[in-house]
Structure 1
Amino acid sequence: MKRVFDVVASLFLLVALSPLIAIVAFLVRVKIGYPVFFKQLRPGLNEVPFYLLKFRTMTNDKDNAGQLLPDEERITRFGRFLRKYSFDELPQLVNVLKGELSLVGPRPLLMEYLPLYSAEQARRHYVKPGITGWAQINGRNAISWEEKFALDVWYVDHQTFWLDMRILLLTLRKVWLSEGVSQQGHATVDRFKSEEIRVKEGRG
């Protein structure tokens, strides 16, 4: 039932929101530049990688050494607006249609995080990742990584179709209120580090 709902809902949303998607794409091209889409390899179900699609929200500005500047310096004013209302996530409906994402599930994070997870945290990959999830409606980027992963694993153990419907409805409220868009002091969220690394840094 979940896959059928994902296909029907993502196809409907892609058609219904096509004017908005076209407008956002045009504005990204004008205000931020080319390419319009940001594509990055992320781990999917059972850690199988796929390319996640998003609208660009940052420039590609680099320092004198050729390294990308910090996110806080590259994110544009228009990019912050897109993130505030989650418009940057709209292209992920294509990922849902292709079967790489679900509408609801743990958010797909960076490939480089895979070796850092504990065995319990790694269980978040037992289900297909999603555009939104249990962690997103319970704090999003404003909560700690440990809290976020605990919520993801809770979803893995308790997922039902009706829980997904509840998450989708609550997501609309979160987006409308722009809650938890970023972690305090960061453009989005601090990078995840394993417990061992954080203890060595005195942050555990």
Structure 2
Amino acid sequence: MVTEIRGPVITGWSAVSPYGIGREAFMEGARSGRTTAVALDSEQWSGPDQQACLVPDFDIRGELGRKGTRSMDRVTGLAVTAVGRLLKDGGEPIGDGGDDRAALVLGTNTGSAQSMMALTHDTFVQDKPYLVDPAQFPNTVMNCASGQCAIWYGLKGPNATVAGGRSSGLLALNYARRLLAAGRARTVLCGAVEEYSSARSWLEW
């Protein structure tokens, strides 16, 4: 989180990572130097990988509840969880009515490759006239995660998704700095999100 106080100042941070959920889990894991790679369940993950670094026991409904999560995909769930932890763990308070000066900048590589491929697959295999699930369509848009974060936490300022490959997180941080310098926002929540999925695994392979 970056706040304009005589120049950008980081006032809080959190993480959802293979070390666990929240900054305490990340700090403990980083200090320990332990590996995060785990063997994959072939029934759940159909990609070519044998191991992956997953968020342990991550369950969208378990973290966020059932309301509003029926069609939420993994990358969106990770982002919404991370922003929620940031606000909970001492970040800038956002009022119940929202904050029109609080912005969100989220970096990503492609958004959810799994959602994009699943919807495309349905257009080929479902009955004509290609009966795809319309509730899944928002997940195929690259800015779905940032938009959902804004809706969940009442962030009414600028909302941006920055896609720049492996540099996306740094590019998002620079974008946040520019929003503050231009006076477009008082507070910027800034981060990056990627999901592990079978589709992403095949693309990397």
Q: Give the structure with the higher percent helix.
A: 1
More strand by share: 2
| Fold similarity call, TM over 0.5 | no
Relative contact order (C-alpha < 8 Å, sep 6+): which is higher? 2
TM (norm. structure 1) is 0.29
